[in-house]
Amino acid sequence: MISSAQKKRIVLVHPRGFNWFPGKTDITDIANRMVPQGLLSIAAYLIKEGHDVSVYDCLGPQAPINLAEQVKAILAGKPEIVGFSATTSSFPDAADLAQKIKDYSSAIVTVCGGVHVSALEGKLLAGYRGFDYLIAGEGELSMAELAAGHESASVKGLIWRRGAEIVVNEPQEKIRDLDSLPFPAYERLQGFPHDYHLPLFSYINTPGATMITSRGCLYECSYCDRSVFKKGFRYNSASYIYEHMRHLRIRFGVRHINIYDDLFTANRPRIMELCEKLQREPLGINFNCAVRVGYTDDDLLKMLKDAGCLMVSLGIESADPQMLARHKSGVSLDDVRDTVRRIQAAGLRAKGLFMMGLPGETEESIQRTSDFIISLGLDDMNMAKFTPFPGAPLWVKIREEGTFVEDWRLMNCLNFVFVPKGIESKERLDQLYNEYVKRFYSDTGWRKKFRKRIWQHRKSLLYLLRHLPSFWSAKNQFEPVKKVIKCSRRKEHRRGC
């Protein structure tokens, strides 16, 4: 704990970034406004150290889109330090906000961390004068040391300027005992939890929240950026997770939690212990989680169901064997089929996670994946648009694999900035994406399942109706592409449209 003289006023900022399509109104925060989990963890740690901390979410309820208005709101907290946590697509916004803050007062210390910073490190500080410091890797310890006034050279993970020289300090040690961290500072987030919405139809009860119960991953998928937590797997204990859930239930009335761990069930004993505790002492909470093929069995799935789990997500990415072998080793299509079958047999919903446009993708591999998706009989599906990120293994040779437009603002998995050699154009890739997403939600098998659950999802339906104009506008983004597809198909037969 610091002394009162060392206490700092700190504003931590979650920059908005560009989260939709060029030229279209960004509605992603209406459809799914996620809690900035990492930022809230840093906030809680700094509060524990004795600092005066507030959190400003530029994607939060009633937050202005205009950067100048955002700066006014940030400065209203009279900060001595302003910290940003940025992804690749939100980093330009963070840089612009930092520069405006420095223009207002050069005495305010500006610092940025997050996955983009952790991947590019010193290269960023050289090009962005609005930042005094960058922090690579986990932010809690480094940010606390910086706020406490430690010498720049002694703060591990810090990237700073020594005159004209950019200095990259040695990495910060990983926090081995994640249970030593306080719960994220949800109370510092305006509008939480009622104005933070989980994806529609992924829950039954409201309000909802998110949790992360581990850091790192044992695998190295080609497209995944592990710059912050690196390889390895650290996790909270079952008792910590239970108390975290209990905290959300009692203090904030949360009724559903999405757990965004990559390998939630990798350590079977902790999940068994958690499920047993949730069965003995129910909290009145449902939850969703993700599993990896190979880390599930019938007994574990039954325990998840009995503990309140509603839906299980499964990273599949592609149904092309060559694509799987290259980008997500250790996963076979037969194992995927078996896992989905067993998830549903346990009374859980199965959601498939896929990715279109990876290097090596062709129209044939996309068709194969679409056919596979329909054959699985999934309860839900998400198709991401492959985006190369600086910290991913693919990054080094991505330009040899196809056409890549490195526009950070568009690098958000909602836009195709990369077109593999096997696809003729970005326009064609967009056509295929829209066609096959629509194919899933038009499938009679999926629609039959959805109709049976319509009453369960009445809260999602009410929310959808309240924001119908925005969602209708989003739906219409797909319609012009549908007409182009029809037109192009006619050309194949008539050479005219």
Quick one: pLDDT at residue 262?
83
pLDDT in tens, 171-196: 999 999 999 999 999 999 999 999 99
Question: Is residue 488 pLDDT above 50, yes or no?
Answer: no
User: Is the pLDDT confidence value at 309 over 90?
Assistant: yes
Phi, psi angle pair for 246, to nearest 5° = -65, -40
The pLDDT value given to residue 351:
97
Token digits of residue 79: 């900060």
Tokens representing residue 150 in the block: 């430690």
pLDDT band at 19 (very low <50, low <70, confident <90, very high): low
What is the structure's pLDDT at 495? Answer: 31
- Residues 477-490: what's their mean pLDDT? 41
Distance CA 231, CA 390 (A): 16
pLDDT at 294: 74
Strands 133-135, 158-162: pairing kind:
antiparallel
User: How many residues make up the chain in this entry?
Assistant: 497
Q: For position 485, what pLDDT does the model report? A: 34
pLDDT of residue 79: 98
3-state secondary structure of 19: coil
pLDDT over threshold 60, residue 451 = yes
Please state, as a whole number, how many other Cβ atoms lie within 10 Å of the Cβ of residue 463: 18
Q: Is the dihedral of CA 372, 374, 376, 378 positive or negative?
A: positive
More confident residue, 26 or 220: 220
Q: How far is CA 200 from the centre of its chain?
A: 16
Return the HEC string of 334-375: HHHHHHHHHHHHCCCEEEEEEEECCCCCCHHHHHHHHHHHHH
Mean pLDDT of 28-57: 92
Directed axis angle between helix 238-252 and helix 268-280, to 10°? 40
Whether 423 shows a pLDDT value over 90: the answer reads yes
Contact 344, 449 (CB under 8 A): no
Query: pLDDT-based confidence at 496, cuts 50/70/90?
Result: very low
* Residue 399 to residues 120, 384, 393, 421, Cα–Cα distance (Å): 17, 20, 13, 10
State residue 497's pLDDT score.
32
> What pLDDT is recorded for position 494?
33
- pLDDT tops 70 at residue 62: yes
Alpha-carbon gap, residue 430 to 77, rounded angstroms: 43
Q: What is the pLDDT of residue 481?
A: 40
Q: Using CB atoms within 10 A of its CB, is residue 96 exposed (0-12), middle (13-18) or buried (19+)? A: middle
What are φ and ψ of residue 448, in 5° steps? -65, -45
Pairwise pLDDT comparison (466 vs 279), residue with the higher score: 279
- pLDDT > 60? residue 480: no
Q: Is the pLDDT of residue 471 over 80?
A: no
Q: What is the pLDDT of residues 144-155, one digit of tens each?
A: 999 999 999 999
* Residue type at position 275: C
Instruction: Taking the CA atoms of 197, 202, 203 and 209 in sequence, report the sign of the dihedral they define.
Output: negative
> What are the tens digits of pLDDT across the range 310-352?
999 999 999 999 999 999 877 899 999 999 999 999 999 999 9
Delineate the domains of the chain, giving CATH numbers in brackets: 4-168 (3.40.50.2300), 205-245+253-485 (3.80.30.20)
User: Taking the CA of residue 213 as centre, how many other CA atoms within 13 Å lie in the half-sphere pointing to its CB?
Assistant: 26
